[in-house]
Amino acid sequence: MKFTLDKKKFIEGLALASKALSNKQNAPILTGIYVNAYDNIVELQATDYEIGFIIKIEAEIKEPGEIVLSGKYLVDAVRKLPGSEVSFDYNEAEKIAHISSNKSKYRLLSMQSAEFPKIEKLDGGTSFTVKDEDLFSIIKKTAFSASTDELRPVFMGCFLQIEDNKLEMAATNSFRLAVNKLDIESNSSIRLIIPAKALNELSYAYKEDEPQDITVKQAKNQLGFEFGNIYMTTRLIEGEYPDYNKIVPKSAATTVTVDRTSLLSAVDRVSLISNPKGIQSVHFDIKKGIIHIDSNNPEIGKAEEEIEADVQGEELSISFNAVYIIDAMKVMRGDKIKISLNRNLDPVKIEDMEDTNFTYVITPVRSQQ
Amino acid sequence: MKFTLDKKKFIEGLALASKALSNKQNAPILTGIYVNAYDNIVELQATDYEIGFIIKIEAEIKEPGEIVLSGKYLVDAVRKLPGSEVSFDYNEAEKIAHISSNKSKYRLLSMQSAEFPKIEKLDGGTSFTVKDEDLFSIIKKTAFSASTDELRPVFMGCFLQIEDNKLEMAATNSFRLAVNKLDIESNSSIRLIIPAKALNELSYAYKEDEPQDITVKQAKNQLGFEFGNIYMTTRLIEGEYPDYNKIVPKSAATTVTVDRTSLLSAVDRVSLISNPKGIQSVHFDIKKGIIHIDSNNPEIGKAEEEIEADVQGEELSISFNAVYIIDAMKVMRGDKIKISLNRNLDPVKIEDMEDTNFTYVITPVRSQQ
């Protein structure tokens, strides 16, 4: 096994593969990256059984072969090498990979490649195609709302539904909900729960400069994403996703239209003083023309702020988890947002005035005051 | 107490004062920043009894006064405020400071200002003056060599000596030594041990764009540094500093002249494979015209590298702590360095060919091979 390849591409591929490296002590082979050289391709694989990557990199193959090397050391060694090209030479007898560039040489002991659980691309099953930037965008607008509570696995996922050429993704931790819709061309009918962590890895994955299609395939409890030279697989979460549509308010006693970035910075500033240990709650006094935002911590002091707003309907006094407001303001893009409110503890809907496909719902918290 | 001041200057001053905030739970007053408004000055003070800062900022004082506020919250609040000017208004009756800018308002509860251990500038004693950039430079070239072992307090300090218009600073952890000399105009005769941590804080402190003089004063076990609007004080370390000159080799069986950045990157790369838990030792084979550098970890593999060098005298095989080499290469500035070696475990001298004032000595480690 012997090849040379471009250092920059090798580093990019290894960095992506690293995201699937396991840190479980009881399965050392999963701390390895599988390297397979054939045709004019070096293929990298890594998996922690939750997610897995197959990454193909163009290379000059002088002798095909396959091995597994410690992921951590392979990544660091290639990163540290000088020059722009890397030579890779595996000595079968010694079981040692020689990785070099100019006068720098690393020799890494190989792991048992036969033990590596090779990733098979999904064949058959349901599939659909979506533009990479569209998929990454709906992930970034929803996945942050999922729960990290391992006791409630269903809430750690994003719900994906395709029906009648409409794709819908939703995530909730039961205190907040983010839903994003997208028109796609697909005859598929799909309802899945995908781990939010896997979707986050995907959306921050190596991205080509040119927009490209991602083909998504499902078979049994696995989902595969294929785009360019990258294939990512993730297990699916089993269970029934709650019917979140019923908590989205259909009407509003109070409607507030406000500048998104003004609200973001006001809540960010005021939240400094709220309880640093419990929920960072901030209190909104919604009156004609203004929102007065404040928070209180008897041991520290108080913060307050006033922002202009177009308020329709009843005046209202209500408190929120500041983080839930800040997160949503950060993923929205429009200048203005619309907040629809009812009674004190009823769910509150927040919409981006420039993106009708996105809906966000939060449950208020009990006021301190 | 009432004043307005420039937000940027206030933030800079608060950030510097924060470096002296204590995190000791048993003295809550030391988590506070003392704010004193008088004439056209806002003075900030903070101390953890190890170091202390007095920082003066120009301000428009409408009503003089003094208070102590939680350092953490004061810094964060001012940082988060919008606009370019901050209004500060202390309500004596409520014991609350109102800090505001535009429509953003913070109210912070004050602490007992009478309890704050105000810093007195040192008066009398020995003193000398040095250019800020010279002092910061000799600190950066020596303080990193001090120990962090609290059981050997003397080694946690930098030794400062002034004699016959020569200033000398040295730091050692007993395995490495860095010494830097500087010509100054001073009739003082001084021998002090200054905590390396305090000197590091000082050298990374707020720095004026224009070079300025620092006046250094000693009285009893305190040292004060005054420059521009900043005064820093530190306690001194008591004890006898070892006579480090006797370990500096006076002659050499082998002399190596080598490119500094080549040595730095070679040792950095090779050290990747050395034992990540113990000392990161790297092995040098010094031959005519080259240094072959390698390291070995039986569980991971091996790294090796060769760099060109001008080698005079005997060939030698010797091992070093990689970190000690890397640290020194980073603070030196010349293109070439000179390494003077004797027998295998004798101290090794490293000099910057473009800075005769700097000397670095390291003790080799036993070779793995």
Residues A140 and A216 in one domain: yes
The H or E element spanning position B328 is helix B322-331
- What is the three-class DSSP state of B29? helix
pLDDT band at A46; cut points 50, 70, 90: very high
Angle at the Cα of A138 (from A132 to A139), degrees rounded to 5?
85
Structural tokens at position A278: 């419990």
pLDDT band at A276; cut points 50, 70, 90: low
> Where a domain ends, among B213, B244, B275?
B244
Residues B141 and B95 in one domain: no
Residue A120 in any domain: the answer is: no
Task: Report the CATH number that the domain containing residue A314 is assigned in CATH.
Answer: 3.70.10.10
Residue B217 in any domain: the answer is: yes
* Distance from C-alpha of A280 to C-alpha of A274, rounded to nearest angstrom: 5
Nearest residue to B268 via CA among A105, A107, A80, A7: A80
Nearest CB among B80, B96, B103 relative to A301 is that of: B96
Q: Is the pLDDT of residue A369 over 60?
A: no
Name the residue in chain B with its Cα closest to that of A305: B104
Residue A369 in any domain: the answer is: no
pLDDT in tens, A194-243: 999 999 999 887 666 788 999 999 988 999 999 989 999 999 999 999 99
pLDDT in tens, B84-135: 999 999 988 999 999 999 989 999 999 988 999 999 998 878 999 999 999 9
Q: Is the pLDDT of residue B368 over 90?
A: no
Residue B245 distance to chain A (closest CA, Å): 37
Residue B255 in any domain: the answer is: yes
Structural tokens at position A33: 């990256």
* Distance from C-alpha of A115 to C-alpha of A235, rounded to nearest angstrom: 20
* Distance from C-alpha of A178 to C-alpha of B84, rounded to nearest angstrom: 36
Judged on CB neighbours under 10 Å (0-12, 13-18, 19+), A287 is middle
Torsion sign (Cα): A211, A217, A218, A223: negative
Judged on CB neighbours under 10 Å (0-12, 13-18, 19+), A285 is middle
* Structure ipTM: 0.86
Q: Is the pLDDT of residue B292 over 90?
A: yes
**pTM score, whole prediction:** 0.90
- Residue A274 is which amino acid? S
pLDDT in tens, B192-246: 999 999 999 998 876 667 889 999 999 889 999 999 899 999 999 999 999 999 9
- A3-7, A363-367, B223-227: lowest mean pLDDT where? A363-367
* Distance from C-alpha of B342 to C-alpha of B88, rounded to nearest angstrom: 65
Q: Is the pLDDT of residue A170 over 60?
A: yes
**Mean pLDDT within A327-341:** 97
Residue B367 in any domain: the answer is: no
Residue B317 in any domain: the answer is: yes
pLDDT band at A61; cut points 50, 70, 90: very high
Residues A256 and A326 in one domain: yes
Contact A100, B306 (CB under 8 A): no
Nearest CB among B103, B109, B306 relative to A103 is that of: B306
Residues B159 and B179 in one domain: yes
Residue A164 in any domain: the answer is: yes
* Distance from C-alpha of A331 to C-alpha of A141, rounded to nearest angstrom: 6
* Distance from C-alpha of A305 to C-alpha of A268, rounded to nearest angstrom: 11
Say what the pLDDT of residue A279 is. 84
**Mean pLDDT within B329-358:** 96
Residues A135 and A240 in one domain: yes
Nearest residue to B338 via CA among B364, B365, B312: B312
Residues B13 and B86 in one domain: yes
Domain of A40 in residue numbering reads as 2-115
* Distance from C-alpha of B183 to C-alpha of B166, rounded to nearest angstrom: 5
Assess B306–A contact: CB distance below 8 Å, yes or no. Answer: yes
Nearest CB among B80, B103, B268 relative to A80 is that of: B268
Residue-wise over B283-305: b if at least 16 C-beta within 10 A, else e?
bbbbeeeebbbbbbbeebbbbbb
* Distance from C-alpha of B21 to C-alpha of B48, rounded to nearest angstrom: 6
Residue A314 in any domain: the answer is: yes
- What is the three-class DSSP state of B148? coil
Task: Report the CATH number that the domain containing residue B338 is assigned in CATH.
Answer: 3.10.150.10
* Distance from C-alpha of B342 to C-alpha of A138, rounded to nearest angstrom: 66
> Where a domain ends, among A244, A272, A293?
A244
Assess A290–B contact: CB distance below 8 Å, yes or no. Answer: no
Nearest CB among A105, A299, A300 relative to B304 is that of: A105
Residues B280 and B351 in one domain: yes
pLDDT in tens, B152-203: 999 999 999 999 999 999 999 999 999 999 999 988 899 999 999 999 999 8
> Where a domain ends, among B244, B276, B308?
B244
A301 with B105: Cβ contact below 8 A: no
pLDDT in tens, B51-88: 999 999 999 999 999 999 999 999 999 999 999 999 99
B103 with A73: Cβ contact below 8 A: no
Please name the residue that has the structure tokens 């939010």.
Answer: A196
Q: Is the pLDDT of residue B360 over 60?
A: yes
Say what the pLDDT of residue B156 is. 98
Which of A7, A295, A305, A306 should we substitute to test contact with B (largest number of B Cβ atoms within 10 Å)?
A: A305
Say what the pLDDT of residue A206 is. 64
The H or E element spanning position B134 is helix B132-142
Question: End-to-end CA distance of chain A, in Å?
Answer: 70
Q: How many domains does chain B have?
A: 3
